[in-house]
């Protein structure tokens, strides 16, 4: 009885955002004309989407699990600063890239640990690092590493034994990280941008090659596609991914059914904010410097991309494809408005209206379904 109808609404659920993208694109194509329609502009839009897109693909995981990440922009800024410092130290580009990604993973681990209430272990790890560094400064590196590891282990087991587990809401944790990480980035950069030596291999990430197969689009777009494909696969085909949906839909039920809720949450933050780390490498390539103030407001663009793409902030719903389309819609609006010569304030109003309209449409559709 409900099968045919259910199938058609499910069809709409996956194609609604795509129709929205097509409509937005067609609208600007009609008014902005050839300037907007040129292939070089399509390519530019894809490239413009890559940074927010990759971070948003990661954030989809968090939002589906019923969480939220307000610290994406700050994580990206911190990643650019760390990567730029590595480059300034004349480390190879891949080391700088790993620095950016590692920053994301580390932030994800801290956020994840705080969300599941294992903050005490993070504190013991931090104390261990401080003790290790202090010992290393007075004796040598070997002693420092040993002392750091030993004190982390001791403090960690003490924390496990005595410290209470205090789970915190991701909103609060990432609100703290939002300010804290920018502060950390400014501190690392001595309150100003970090300039690496002029030309380095990372710059090629955000530009298509002059000729050959790489001339089609910049590598950043391919990286976005890879990350999105991988994430879509993880969310659909791994036990971890399905458990993320279950947690977002009904956490207590997931726990009852034997899902390791805490462990899953920890790793989903590591993976998701790790994506923000990847985005920070692209941002570094784009800016050619580490900037503690960059990516301001990206956290909201990332959340908006997920929501436009059909994710529910209450958890349990969302898709990587939808998020990608959501990110593209915002790029098309920005780019199209620019091409039409509209001011920035018009873009902002248009983007805001689209977010609200997308969610309203989604709710309306959900109501039709029942």
Partner 1 sequence: MTPLSTDAAALRLAMVGVGKRFGATAALDGVDFALRVGEVHALVGENGAGKSTLMKVLSGALALDAGSIQLDGEPYAPRSPAEARAAGVAMIYQELSLAPHLSVAENVLLGAQPTRRGIVSWAALRARARALLNVVGRPSLDLDAPVATLAAADRQLVEIARALARDARVIVFDEPTSSLGNEDVARLFALIRDLARRGVSIVYISHALEEVFAIAERFTVLRDGSSVASGRTSETDASRLVAAMVGRSVGELYPRSPARPGEVVATVRALAGERLPREATLEIRRGEVLGLAGLVGAGRSEFLRALFGLERVRSGELRILALDGPRTPTERWAQGVGFVSEDRKSEGLALGLSVADNLVLAGLDRCSSHGVIAPARVERDARAWIERLGIRCLSPRQPVGRLSGGNQQKVALARLLHADADVLLLDEPTRGVDVGSKAEIYRLIDELARSGERPRAVVVVSSYLPELFGTCDRIAVMTRGRLGPARDVGELDEHAVMLEATGAGR
Binding site for partner 1 (CB under 8 A): 2-3, 6-7, 10, 236-243, 245-246, 248-250, 252-259, 312, 315-317, 369-370
2: its two tokens: 């409900």
DSSP annotation of 62 reads: H
Q: What are the two backbone dihedrals, phi and then psi, of residue 262, each rounded to the nearest 5 degrees? A: -65, -45
Q: Please, what is the minimum distance in Å from the beta carbon of residue 7 to partner 1? A: 8
Nearer to partner 1, 89 or 366 (CB): 366
CA atoms of 229 and 251, how far apart (whole Å): 26
Nearer to partner 1, 221 or 232 (CB): 232
Q: Please, what is the minimum distance in Å from the beta carbon of residue 229 to partner 1? A: 15
Contact 291, 81 (CB under 8 A): yes
CA atoms of 312 and 196, how far apart (whole Å): 40
- Total Cβ atoms within 10 A of residue 268: 26
- Total Cβ atoms within 10 A of residue 236: 12
Q: Please, what is the minimum distance in Å from the beta carbon of residue 257 to partner 1? A: 3
Nearer to partner 1, 100 or 241 (CB): 241
Nearer to partner 1, 239 or 297 (CB): 239
Nearer to partner 1, 48 or 312 (CB): 312
Q: Please, what is the minimum distance in Å from the beta carbon of residue 322 to partner 1? A: 14
CA atoms of 66 and 243, how far apart (whole Å): 12
Q: Please, what is the minimum distance in Å from the beta carbon of residue 255 to partner 1? A: 6
Contact 112, 267 (CB under 8 A): yes
Nearer to partner 1, 148 or 309 (CB): 309
92: its two tokens: 């190879």
Contact 242, 231 (CB under 8 A): no
Q: Please, what is the minimum distance in Å from the beta carbon of residue 39 to partner 1? A: 38
76: its two tokens: 């990206």
């Amino acid at each position: 009885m409900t099968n045919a109808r259910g199938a058609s609404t499910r069809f709409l659920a996956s194609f609604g955002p795509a129709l929205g993208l097509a409509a937005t694109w067609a609208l600007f194509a009609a008014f902005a004309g050839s300037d907007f329609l040129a292939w070089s502009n399509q390519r530019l839009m894809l490239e413009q989407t890559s940074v927010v897109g990759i971070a948003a693909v990661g954030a989809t995981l968090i939002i589906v699990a019923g969480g939220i990440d307000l610290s994406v922009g700050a994580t990206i800024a911190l990643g650019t600063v760390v990567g730029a410092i590595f480059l300034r130290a004349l480390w190879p580009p891949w080391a700088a890239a790993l620095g950016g990604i590692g920053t994301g993973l580390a932030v994800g681990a801290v956020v994840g640990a705080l969300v599941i209430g294992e903050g005490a272990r993070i504190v013991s790890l931090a104390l261990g690092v401080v003790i290790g560094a202090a010992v290393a400064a007075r004796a040598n590196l070997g002693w420092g590493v040993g002392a750091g590891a030993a004190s982390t282990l001791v403090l960690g087991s003490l924390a496990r034994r005595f410290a209470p587990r205090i789970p915190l809401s991701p909103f609060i944790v990432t609100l703290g990280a939002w300010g804290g990480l920018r502060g950390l980035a400014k501190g690392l950069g001595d309150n100003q941008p970090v300039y690496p030596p002029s030309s380095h291999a990372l710059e090629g990430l955000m530009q298509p090659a002059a000729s050959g197969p790489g001339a089609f689009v910049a590598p950043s777009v391919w990286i976005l596609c890879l990350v999105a494909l991988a994430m879509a696969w993880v969310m659909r085909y791994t036990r971890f991914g399905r458990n993320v949906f279950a947690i977002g839909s009904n956490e207590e039920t997931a726990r009852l059914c034997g899902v390791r809720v805490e462990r899953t949450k920890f790793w989903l933050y590591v993976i998701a904010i790790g994506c923000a780390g990847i985005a920070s490498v692209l941002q570094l390539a784009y800016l050619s410097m580490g900037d503690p103030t960059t990516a301001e407001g990206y956290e909201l663009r990332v959340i908006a991309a997920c929501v436009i793409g059909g994710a529910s902030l209450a958890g349990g719903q969302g898709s990587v494809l939808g998020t990608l389309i959501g990110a593209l819609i915002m790029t098309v609006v920005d780019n199209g408005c620019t091409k039409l010569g509209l001011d920035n304030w018009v873009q902002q109003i248009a983007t805001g209206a689209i977010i609200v309209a997308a969610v309203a449409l989604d709710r309306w559709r959900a109501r039709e379904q029942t």
